[in-house]
Structure 1
Amino acid sequence: MKRFDLEERLIDFAANVILFTNYVEKNYAGNHLTGQIIRSSTSPALNYGEAQSAESNRDFVHKMGICLKELRETNNCLKIIERANLNSNQKMLDQLKVEANELISIFVASIKTAKKNAEKNK
């Protein structure tokens, strides 16, 4: 996967989560989770750009780790919204869960590869 493909995918994911929040109930829990999921889903796109400008392999791994952490948080928010029956667009929710899991897998593999490469270059 090309670097810009992943960047675009992260931007699309964040935008789609923002659009999805229109289908989350407007009550105390829904508003709380909407704010949280917007923050956590936009963070990976922003931090991925930072990772591309990392000053070292260690810095790259750290910034990619932040992306991974935020993707996992987003995934958990999606699950909470689903289990609490706070959404009215199950199809969109299912698509976001699939994309979140795929992005998590990509970041796990990238971090693992970066760590392995760092060990080789010691």
Structure 2
Amino acid sequence: MLVMKNNIVRNKSFDFAIRIVKLYQYLNNTKKEFILAKQLLRSGTSIGAMIREAEHAESKSDFIHKFAIAQKEANETVYWLELLKATDYLNEKEFENIYNDAITILKLITSILKTSKNQSEAKKLTTNN
């Protein structure tokens, strides 16, 4: 069910999850921040997990559902990153790079989701006519 574009988002989300785990370790060990870091870890690693689940979706609607969850998790991750920056747990340099990656992944997921929904709607229209 995956198209080539999804391989990009799959790889980017996995690499992003690795960075999130390392940021989580940094926040725990260096900044002694545990609560926000745990929230970031959960949402940041869930993005790739949902994309992986979508690879074996049972239907087009299941695929769309999994990507919708990935989109929500990516958006939540952006929130936690912004909060960590605003509360000075991350400096500008630490924040910018991973934040930009999160936004890129969010845009990719949103694009895939829109395309999938449009294809699904088009298929429904041709099937009903």
TM-score normalized by the length of structure 2: 0.84
Determine if the alignment matches structure 1 residue 96 to structure 2 residue 98.
Answer: yes
Matches within 5 A, 1:1-122: 2-24=5-27, 25-26=31-32, 30-87=33-90, 89-122=91-124
Maintained 8 Å contact 1:20/1:92:
no
Cα distance, 1:68 vs. partner?
0.5
Runs of 4+ in 1 over 3 A off after TM superposition: none
Amino acid at match of 2:120: A
Question: What percentage of residue pairs aligned between the two structures are identical?
Answer: 31
How large is the RMSD of aligned CA atoms in angstroms?
Answer: 1.4
**Structure 2 residue ranges without an equivalent (≥5):** 125-129
Post-superposition Cα deviations, 1:73-121, rounded to whole Å, max 9, x if no partner, equal 111000000000113x532321110011111111111111111001111
**Structure 1 residue ranges without an equivalent (≥5):** none
Aligned residues: 118
Maintained 8 Å contact 1:20/1:93:
no
Q: Which has the larger radius of gyration?
A: 2
Give the whole-Å Cα distance in 2 for the aligned partners of 1:6 and 1:111.
12
Cα distance, 1:57 vs. partner?
1.1
